[in-house]
Amino acid sequence: MADTHHKEVDHISGVETTGHEWDGLKELNNPLPKWWLYLFYACIVWAVIYWVLYPSWPLISSYTTGVLGANQRTEAIAAYDKGISDRSVFADKIVAASLEDISTDQELLQFARANGQAAFGDNCAPCHGSGGTGAEGFPNLQDDTWIWGGTLDDIHTTLEFGIRSGHDEARIGEMPAFGRDELLSRDEINQVANFVASRAGLETEEGVDLAAGQTVFEDNCAACHGEDLKGIQEVGAPSLLSANYLYGKSLDDIKAQINNPRNGVMPAWVDRLDPATIKSLTVYVHSFGGGQ
């Protein structure tokens, strides 16, 4: 019996067609390359082997564990526990060592900086910035202007107890509201603000009696900021000479702070972070370059 099936051959490529046609386009019967088929079959074989060896198929309340008993969750937990164990060894050394000893021991210093960097990003960067450059109302930790001191011990104390945090040992330095509480008149505030601005190298208003402003300063401000305007760290009074002011660097900002000052709050970390982390933060912040 003769074969009545006629295989059409594309006259351009010389390849048989499958008989499928869409809008005049005919499908050619080109088989997949052998290398692709072999790779596909190998993947199937590997999948079957993987199903047998490793956890793969979900069950009602569990999953197939595989003959090797491998478990990435268990491995991850074991790696985490090892990391905690390794960290605890260095953490104990950090707690036992003085801040000066940490700074001179390269192994402890490396750990403290790495640990401090992580803690800084989690706890301090939202206010001070990821690089410690600060913002208005939040001190720059990279410069050498430290309200409460920039030594290792000073930074450690500030971190532990905070500033106006409510902790019994917190650093507290309140600036009086000379305008709001009517301690100074508007003219006196204007005079002393212009005097401070002049000493800080800022632009002042014309016609203001700077000598009168100096008198107002000596009578009301020098007790905290010093007669030389360099500030007194023991009471948290900043230097007024650098114009690196926490709440703005213009004459209007100075007037606003004298009139109704903003007194920021820094949390006490002693009850939030462990001693090793606080020491690590101290060393890390000091390494910014502005520490004393």
Q: Could you give the C-alpha distances from 234 to 30, 70, 149, 229, 275, in angstroms and in order?
A: 87, 60, 8, 14, 24
| Backbone angle region of 176, left / alpha / beta, with phi > 0 → left and psi within -120 to 50 → alpha | beta
Question: What single-letter DSSP state applies at residue 25?
Answer: E
pLDDT 10s per residue in the chain (292 long)? 445 556 788 777 888 888 888 888 888 888 889 999 999 999 999 999 998 998 888 888 888 888 888 878 888 888 888 877 777 888 889 999 999 999 999 999 999 999 999 999 999 999 999 888 988 889 999 888 888 988 999 999 999 999 999 999 999 988 999 999 999 999 999 999 999 999 999 999 999 999 999 999 999 999 999 999 999 988 989 999 977 788 988 999 999 999 999 988 999 999 999 999 999 999 999 998 766 7
Question: What single-letter DSSP state applies at residue 20?
Answer: E
In a 3-state reduction of DSSP, which class is residue 200? coil
Q: Which residues, other chains included, contact 137 with Cβ-Cβ below 8 Å and sequence gap of 6+?
A: 246, 247, 262, 264
Note the pLDDT of residue 4. Answer: 52
Q: How far apart are CA 19 and CA 45, in angstroms?
A: 33
Note the pLDDT of residue 203. Answer: 92
| CB 103 within 8 Å of CB 284 | no
Note the pLDDT of residue 290. Answer: 66
Note the pLDDT of residue 113. Answer: 93
Q: How far apart are CA 246 and CA 125, in angstroms?
A: 17
